[in-house]
Structure 1
Amino acid sequence: MFALITRLHFYVGLFVGPFILVAAVTGTLFVLTPQIENLIYADQLRTVSTGAPRPLADQVEAAQARIGAGPRLFAVRPAPGPGETTRVMFTQPGMGDSESRALFVDPVTLEIKGDMTVYGTSGTLPFRTKLDYLHRNLMLGELGRNYSELAASWLWLATLGGVILWFGKRNRDKAAAARSPRLRARRWHGLLGLWVGIGLLFLSATGLTWSNWAGARVDQLRAQLGWITPSISLKLPGSTGGDMGSGGEHAHHHGGQHDHAAMAPAPAPASVAEGFDHVLHAARQGGIDSSQLEIRPPRADGQAWMVREVDRSWPTQVDTIAVDPATFAITSRADFDTFPLIAKLIRWGVDMHMGILFGWPNQLLMAAIGIALTTMTVLGYRMWWLRRPAAGASGQTLTHAWRDLSWPGRIAALAVAVALGWCLPVMGASLLAFMAVDVLRWRRARRA
């Protein structure tokens, strides 16, 4: 079994190593650059004007006057505090998934400070969006997502295999390591793996939760176990309109201390822009107290406004409510405190993976793990280069190692491979590719 683990670890390093290396480098750059982005876009994000902020309606109308009639008003993120700008966000044809066009409005003077494309719940600006795309899919769209899923699928197995190999070989060649560049590289490769092993397992697990194929498996498991993240329903009571939210068995959280279903109807706003102030007031009255929030108007008749907190630092504030546009009563809510433990852990895990949960200490920790992973990958290739087989030579293959197992061991190895291939489809497909290459090498070795 030790020989099988050795060969599999080698194959993962040789064939998946480049993808792991790219993911490590781009991920490290991503978590280290929020402060750089804040400096690059300081003129858009901040303002020196002082005084009372104008109503959100005025800020929205100023943005609409600048952008024209084409783009559709999508959401507003009020200025989080004094000296910061409001984001009025629009959608328009040609934009990618989770992208919107944001106009940055001075809440005091109504001056338009900037016009940029923003991405995702965190509102990432163009500089970091490029890094995010590079880390997520190499800027190749849905096809490119397979690269990051391949890296995440194998990283945890490579880590566990490396730990086993380290403890199996830790007492060998200690004296020789001082004289042998290959053994010296192997020693540092193993030590780094031990030091950051828990972090690598964490990166692999959290990366898989939002992957394409394995992420779907995770969602199926969570649904079966009742670990779905609660969400709101945007469908108004008694309405026949569609629900643009993500409903489900945990979608509704009616009642409770912040339910305003019984409050007196408020005057209907004369325009959508005026509705933002009424909805913001209702949200504050309903317990939405984060300084970072997003307000979305209804997209169709029979739907509610949505207000959600977007502060993913610690303590996490991601409560979401639906607000009736006629009465400004809260018709549905999903509070983070009510989330199942697994849903909370996934939320925290993803945010920690992105380096935003605990601020700069989180950034430094993720960057250190990324740098260590980058170094380990480079050392792994150095080890291979220093001991690469001569031209035409065929060393022991994965097939050799598998055939050396007992019959129960072979069956167990196959069963594990099939199970992992089903749970992690990209891993399964790549394992088949490994085996195709390996069988060719094995047959060549037999002929030789």
Structure 2
Amino acid sequence: MSTAETVTRTAPAATGAQPGPQSGPQRGYRTLWRWHFYAGLFVIPFLVILAITGTIYCFQPQIEPLLYPHRLIVAPATSPRLEVDALLAKARGAMPAGAVATTARISSRADRSAEFIFRLPDGRKQSVYVNPYDGAVLGMLDVDSRFMQVDRMIHRKLLLGKPGELLMELVACWTLVMIGTGVALWWPRERASLRAALVPDLTRRGRPLWKSVHATLGIWLAIGAFAFVATGLPWTGSWGKQFKALASSVKLGSPPGSWGGLPLHSKVPGQPSEAGAATSHEAASGMESMPGMTMDEMPLPQVPWAVGAVRVPGSPDVGAPGVKPLPLGHVVEQMHADGLTHGYDIALPTSPLGVYTVSYFPADPKLERTVYIDQYSGAVLKDIRYGDYGAVGKAVSYGTSLHMGRYFGVPNQIACAALSLGLAALAVTGFVMWWKRRPRGTLGAPARERGAPPMRAWATGLVVLGIVFPLMGLTIVAVWLVDRVLLRCAGPLAAS
């Protein structure tokens, strides 16, 4: 017996319902409705949170200057900008002893301050903002307490760490179930016209009105919402991380050669290779910007998805007599000569083994770049571009840019906001429908139908979903068990 057959065990006929294809829902309708109900009941509160936080984060470029104008915004001046190393020195002078500069954010906008990120002795990260014209320190912000960072962490993990991250991943997966079952429930049947299915009937009152609005809104949003949720899944901390590793291992994600193709440590003169490797590993475990770390572990605000699993190389000239590290300004000039002038981040080397790591994550995925530069010689150890990605990496890059509202500017932001808030509206209207229908003192799950069809396609879809998303598969089994054991005696309800 299939999964769908099992969950559709017979129930008493709904009051007032007459047999016949035109007087009640089609066979299998209640099975789909029951799964739609469970998916919606679980995701409703979290979907509203995802929608609100996602919409806010989508408009980060417009919101942040309004929140921190005295730190981020400066008056453009006719005088030339100070050298980046002079600005870094000013920022370092404002930090307590023991603070380590980890990241420089490079911007050529005349009205923007220079930003440097430091790791404090207690492990916290602090941004320092400096006027690029006179070197005045404009202020500081705790990186993890910054409004947009808090919003992003709520969106990704509800500020609950790994458990919250897994929970939000489940929410995304169950939202896909909710969308799929919703479309199946909406699909025009019998005498229903397509126009009636696509346009809400505002002449209705009470729950029928809510149902009409919910159904038509859902179908208008279905394709975009499905793509919207799916493009966010590669960034999840559990499945997304494994998916990235799998795509890279079959040369469809990270660029070929990035797994093991770069030196992970340098051989320090006078030491055997094994000792150098041990030194590198020990240093990497306690410091940032170290060789052997993946790009996702680097002190960078964001990196392209396709290079997240790439390991950072080491500087081959480490320890050579008379060799001194190059200043940050040299790297900035080097990148400027190579066509990169604005909107990128540089992870600074914080040990003799480290390299300058340049991460460019623009709105157009085809322009993404990740560059590793030897801190002593200035040699480019690796320059990874969009053309080096595998097919999956390229697809995810485009999906990410669209998901974040970056690819085609403000219209993309508006489209993302409409999808996010539309999903929130679906959650709210679905809750109201349930509340109006729910018998007092019961959960109000739709009744099982008598003589349900096998629905093999639906059962196969659930199995495939559970295999692709193992955590989701466990919850599908859990929901089935709860439905079979705890909710076995759910009473009949009038047809929707």
Q: % of aligned pairs identical? A: 26
The 5 Å alignment of 1:90-109 reads 90-92=118-120, 95=123, 100-109=125-134
Counterpart in 2 of 1:38? 65
The 5 Å alignment of 1:256-295 reads 275-285=327-337, 287-295=338-346
**Is 1:439–2:489 an aligned residue pair?**
no
RMSD: 3.4
Residue 343 of structure 1: CA displacement? Answer: 1.1
Q: Is the 8 A contact 2:233 2:240 kept in 1?
A: yes
Q: Is the 8 A contact 1:155 1:200 kept in 2?
A: no
Counterpart in 2 of 1:131? 151
Change (3 A) 1:145 1:237: closer
Counterpart in 2 of 1:301? 352
The TM-score normalised by the length of structure 2 is 0.74
Q: Is the 8 A contact 1:21 1:374 kept in 2?
A: yes
**Is 1:209–2:234 an aligned residue pair?**
yes
**Is 1:80–2:131 an aligned residue pair?**
no
The 5 Å alignment of 1:334-345 reads 334-345=384-395
Q: Specify the code of the residue in structure 1 equivalent to 2:477.
A: L
Alpha-carbon separation, structure 2, partners of 1:422 and 1:430: 12
Task: Write the deviation string for residues 243-284 of structure 1: whole angstroms up to 9, x where unpaired.
Answer: 335499x969x9xxxxxx9xxxxx965xx6x61012222223
Change (3 A) 1:59 1:225: same
Of 151-160 and 78-87, more deviation after overlay is shown by: 78-87
**Is 1:404–2:484 an aligned residue pair?**
no
Q: Specify the code of the residue in structure 1 equivalent to 2:473.
A: G
Residue 74 of structure 1: CA displacement? Answer: 0.3
Q: Is the 8 A contact 2:335 2:341 kept in 1?
A: no
Alpha-carbon separation, structure 2, partners of 1:65 and 1:76: 15
**Which one scores higher on RCO, CA 8 angstroms, separation ≥ 6?**
2
Q: Specify the code of the residue in structure 2 equivalent to 1:429.
A: L
Q: Is the 8 A contact 1:47 1:85 kept in 2?
A: yes
Q: Is the 8 A contact 1:227 1:342 kept in 2?
A: yes
Alpha-carbon separation, structure 1, partners of 2:190 and 2:436: 20
Q: Is the 8 A contact 1:185 1:383 kept in 2?
A: yes
Counterpart in 2 of 1:158? 178
Task: Write the deviation string for residues 378-402 of structure 1: whole angstroms up to 9, x where unpaired.
Answer: 11112112222354697655xx459
Q: Is the 8 A contact 2:101 2:119 kept in 1?
A: yes
Alpha-carbon separation, structure 1, partners of 2:178 and 2:488: 26
Question: How many aligned positions are there?
Answer: 417
Alpha-carbon separation, structure 1, partners of 2:105 and 2:446: 60
Alpha-carbon separation, structure 1, partners of 2:443 and 2:142: 54
Q: Is the 8 A contact 1:314 1:357 kept in 2?
A: yes
Change (3 A) 1:95 1:154: farther
Alpha-carbon separation, structure 1, partners of 2:341 and 2:112: 15
Match of 1:444, SS state, is coil
Q: Specify the code of the residue in structure 2 equivalent to 1:343.
A: G
Task: Write the deviation string for residues 152-172 of structure 1: whole angstroms up to 9, x where unpaired.
Answer: 111122112211211145855
Q: Is the 8 A contact 2:53 2:155 kept in 1?
A: yes
Residue 109 of structure 1: CA displacement? Answer: 0.8
Alpha-carbon separation, structure 2, partners of 1:355 and 1:79: 21
Match of 2:253 among 215, 219, 228: 228
Alpha-carbon separation, structure 2, partners of 1:10 and 1:114: 50
Alpha-carbon separation, structure 2, partners of 1:431 and 1:308: 39
Counterpart in 1 of 2:99? 71
Match of 1:157, SS state, is helix
Match of 1:111 among 113, 126, 136: 136
Match of 2:435 among 363, 382, 385: 385
Alpha-carbon separation, structure 2, partners of 1:279 and 1:393: 62
Q: Is the 8 A contact 1:50 1:83 kept in 2?
A: no
Change (3 A) 1:201 1:137: same
Residue 148 of structure 1: CA displacement? Answer: 1.7
**Is 1:356–2:383 an aligned residue pair?**
no
Match of 2:110, SS state, is coil
Match of 1:376 among 426, 431, 439: 426
Q: Specify the code of the residue in structure 1 equivalent to 2:163.
A: L
Q: Is the 8 A contact 1:217 1:423 kept in 2?
A: no
Alpha-carbon separation, structure 1, partners of 2:227 and 2:354: 39
Residue 33 of structure 1: CA displacement? Answer: 4.8
Alpha-carbon separation, structure 2, partners of 1:283 and 1:305: 11
Alpha-carbon separation, structure 2, partners of 1:432 and 1:190: 28
Change (3 A) 1:108 1:11: same
Residue 308 of structure 1: CA displacement? Answer: 2.3
Q: Is the 8 A contact 2:103 2:116 kept in 1?
A: yes
Change (3 A) 1:59 1:189: same
Q: Is the 8 A contact 1:4 1:402 kept in 2?
A: no
Match of 2:464, SS state, is helix
Alpha-carbon separation, structure 1, partners of 2:331 and 2:121: 27
Residue 369 of structure 1: CA displacement? Answer: 0.9
Q: Specify the code of the residue in structure 2 equivalent to 1:349.
A: G
Q: Specify the code of the residue in structure 2 equivalent to 1:417.
A: L
5+ unaligned residues in a row in structure 2: which ranges?
A: 1-27, 269-275, 281-290, 296-306, 317-321, 492-496
Residue 30 of structure 1: CA displacement? Answer: 2.5
**Is 1:18–2:45 an aligned residue pair?**
yes
Change (3 A) 1:80 1:337: farther
Alpha-carbon separation, structure 1, partners of 2:339 and 2:358: 8
Residue 422 of structure 1: CA displacement? Answer: 3.2
Task: Write the deviation string for residues 194-241 of structure 1: whole angstroms up to 9, x where unpaired.
Answer: 211122111211221111232134224413432123359475776655
Match of 2:129, SS state, is strand
Counterpart in 2 of 1:332? 382
Of 387-396 and 21-30, more deviation after overlay is shown by: 387-396
Counterpart in 2 of 1:29? 56
Change (3 A) 1:24 1:225: same
Residue 323 of structure 1: CA displacement? Answer: 1.4
Residue 430 of structure 1: CA displacement? Answer: 2.7
Q: Is the 8 A contact 2:157 2:163 kept in 1?
A: yes
**Is 1:422–2:467 an aligned residue pair?**
yes
Change (3 A) 1:220 1:234: closer
Residue 28 of structure 1: CA displacement? Answer: 2.1
Change (3 A) 1:51 1:377: same
